[in-house]
A and B are shown apart, each in its own frame.
Chain A
C-alpha cells in the first residue's frame, strides 16, 4: 500500500428529478432527509467527499437508499452528477468535466465494476465468455488467440467450470453470475475496482468463495477497491477504512475497526448494534 490517492472525490452531488428553486439553493444541504419536500426530487448524494488510496479497500455502509449505488455509478461514469470533482492523479484533474468518450476511455483502461444488479453488469443473452470478451476488446485486446487465453485465465481465477463458459448467464445461479461479473470487471486489469453488494443474497459457502477470490485478486494485482456492502462481517474482513452513509451524506468515517468498535454517530451505533444482536 502506498500513500498516494488512487482517486479523490470532492463535493459529489446527485439529484434525481431535477430539483426546484427551493432545493437547489442552500436547502438541499439542510434537508433532514434526501427528498425535497417541495418538488419531491431525490438528492441521492449531497456533497460527498472521500479519497481512495492505492492498494486500499474502502468500505461503504449505510441503510437502503442512502446513496451507495449512486456513488459507485458516478465513479464509473454511469451517472452524471449535478456537481463535484473527481481527481484521478496522472489521468484527469476533474474526470467529471470530460467528454463521455474520454470518460469511457478512462473506464475501459482503469476501472472495473461489479453491479448490485447483475442485469446491469451482464448481457444476459451473451455467453459468459462473450461477456468477458466485450470488456477485453474495449480494453484493446484484439488478438483472437490472446483473447481466448485471457478469457480462460479470468474464468479460472473466479473458478468457473470450463464446460459452462459458452452458456448465457441468464441460466446461472446468483453466485455464478457474480463470478462472471467479477471476471468481467477485472478483465482490463483495472487500478480501481468498484464492488456493489457482491455477496448479497448468496448462501454462505458461495459468499466465502467470492470473498476469497476478491481478496486474492486485490492482493495479487495491487488493486484499490470501493466495497459497498450491508454485511458488516464482509466489511470487517476486507475493508481497511470505512465510510458510513445516511440520506446521501457521509456521517462517519475511520479505520474499519474504529467505525465498528467505537462508533460515534447515533445511526452507526444503531447499525452496529442491530447487527450484533441478531
Chain B
C-alpha cells in the first residue's frame, strides 16, 4: 500500500502578544499513514489533537518539522513549504477536513453546498447533482431541508450536512475532528459505514473521536498524545 502522509517531528506553538506568552500546541509529533489506513488520535483535552489536524490542513503554520503528502497529481510535497495556491487546490481536490462546526454562506442551500463541494473535485454538473442527492439521501437529511438555508438547521442536521459536504467526493486524505460530536447512534452508524466505504476506495483517514466505541473497528493505529507515539494496532 502506498504512503499518503508522513509527519516528521512536527511542532507548533502559538505566541500571543497579549499577554505575551507562548502556548504549546503540539511537540515533536511523527507518524505515517498509508492508503486505506485509519489513524486515531487520542489524548487529554488541550493535548494538541486538533492542532495536529490543523497543521496538516495548513490552517496553522507549523513551527518546525515536515509534513510530506504524496499527491496523485503533484507527487511528494512538503505541505509546509508549497505555495498557498497549491494548498487551495489540494484542499478542494484531495484533502478533506470535517469538524463539528459548519461554516456556510447565508442563502446557499444545503443541496448547493454539497454540489459545490463535488464540483470542486472536478466532476461535471450532472454528476455533482447526482452525487449530492445520493449523499444527502444517505445521511437521511429530510428532503424538505435540501433547498433551504442551513443556518436554521438543528445541530445534528448541520453535522450531517457537514459530513455530506466532505464525503460527496472521495478524498485521498480525510481529517476528522469530532465530526459526530452530537449525533445519535443511528446517525453515527451511517457515518461509520460511509467512512468504511471511503476507506475501501482507498481514502486514508486521521480521526479524533471522544467516542472510543466509534473508533473501535475503524482504527488501524492509534497515536496517543501522552505517550508521543503509537499505542499499537487497534488498541484503545
User: With a CB–CB cut-off of 8 A, which chain B residues contact A209?
Assistant: 107
A258–B17 CB distance below 8 A: no
User: With a CB–CB cut-off of 8 A, which chain A residues contact B16?
Assistant: 269
A262–B106 CB distance below 8 A: no
Q: Does B54 contact A (CB under 8 A)?
A: yes
User: With a CB–CB cut-off of 8 A, which chain A residues contact B17?
Assistant: 266, 269-270
CB 8 Å contact bits of A1-37 with B (1 = contact, 0 = none):
1010000000000000000000000000000000000
Q: Does A212 contact B (CB under 8 A)?
A: yes
A255–B87 CB distance below 8 A: yes
Question: Residue B60 contacts which of A1, A240, A262 (CB distance < 8 angstroms)?
Answer: A262
User: With a CB–CB cut-off of 8 A, which chain A residues contact B85?
Assistant: 3, 53
Q: Does A257 contact B (CB under 8 A)?
A: yes
Most chain A Cβ neighbours within 10 Å, of B54, B107, B108: B107
A261–B54 CB distance below 8 A: yes
A208–B54 CB distance below 8 A: no
Main secondary structure of the interface of A (DSSP, over half): helix
User: With a CB–CB cut-off of 8 A, which chain A residues contact B104?
Assistant: 237
The docked-state distance in angstroms from the alpha carbon of A32 to that of B51 is 35
User: With a CB–CB cut-off of 8 A, which chain B residues contact A3?
Assistant: 85-86, 89
Q: How large is the interface on B (under 10, 10 to 19, 20 to 34, 35 or more residues)?
A: 20 to 34
User: With a CB–CB cut-off of 8 A, which chain A residues contact B60?
Assistant: 258, 261-262
Q: Does A241 contact B (CB under 8 A)?
A: yes
Q: Does B24 contact A (CB under 8 A)?
A: no
User: With a CB–CB cut-off of 8 A, which chain A residues contact B15?
Assistant: 264
The docked-state distance in angstroms from the alpha carbon of A270 to that of B18 is 8
A212–B59 CB distance below 8 A: no
Q: A262-B59, A262-B60, A264-B61 are in contact. Are A255 and B84 (CB under 8 A)?
A: yes
A208–B106 CB distance below 8 A: yes
Most chain A Cβ neighbours within 10 Å, of B60, B89, B103, B106: B106
Q: Does A142 contact B (CB under 8 A)?
A: no
Q: A1-B89, A266-B17, A270-B18 are in contact. Are A258 and B105 (CB under 8 A)?
A: no
The docked-state distance in angstroms from the alpha carbon of A190 to that of B29 is 47
The docked-state distance in angstroms from the alpha carbon of A215 to that of B113 is 12
B61–A262 CB distance below 8 A: yes
Q: Does B88 contact A (CB under 8 A)?
A: yes
CB 8 Å contact bits of A51-80 with B (1 = contact, 0 = none):
001000000000000000000000000000
Most chain B Cβ neighbours within 10 Å, of A236, A255, A273: A255
Q: Does A211 contact B (CB under 8 A)?
A: yes
Q: Does B14 contact A (CB under 8 A)?
A: yes
User: With a CB–CB cut-off of 8 A, which chain B residues contact A219?
Assistant: 116
User: With a CB–CB cut-off of 8 A, which chain A residues contact B58?
Assistant: 255, 258
CB 8 Å contact bits of A262-278 with B (1 = contact, 0 = none):
10101001100100000
Q: What is the chain A residue whose CB lies nearest that of B60?
A: A262
The docked-state distance in angstroms from the alpha carbon of A208 to that of B150 is 13
The docked-state distance in angstroms from the alpha carbon of A241 to that of B88 is 9
B61–A254 CB distance below 8 A: yes
Q: A258-B60, A269-B16 are in contact. Are A212 and B105 (CB under 8 A)?
A: yes
Question: Residue A258 contacts which of B18, B61, B106 (CB distance < 8 angstroms)?
Answer: B61
B107–A237 CB distance below 8 A: no
B88–A211 CB distance below 8 A: no
CB 8 Å contact bits of B4-40 with A (1 = contact, 0 = none):
0000000000111110000000000000000000000
State how many angstroms separate the Cβ of B180 from the closest Cβ of chain A.
22
CB 8 Å contact bits of B66-93 with A (1 = contact, 0 = none):
0000000000000000001111110010
B88–A240 CB distance below 8 A: yes
B59–A273 CB distance below 8 A: no
The docked-state distance in angstroms from the alpha carbon of A238 to that of B108 is 13
Lowest 9 A-B CB distances belong to which pairs?
A: A208-B106, A212-B107, A266-B17, A257-B59, A262-B60, A237-B105, A255-B84, A261-B59, A3-B85
5 contacting pairs across A/B (C-beta < 8 A) = A3-B86, A3-B89, A257-B59, A269-B17, A269-B18
Residues on B facing A (Cβ under 8 Å): 14-18, 54, 58-61, 84-89, 92, 103-108, 116
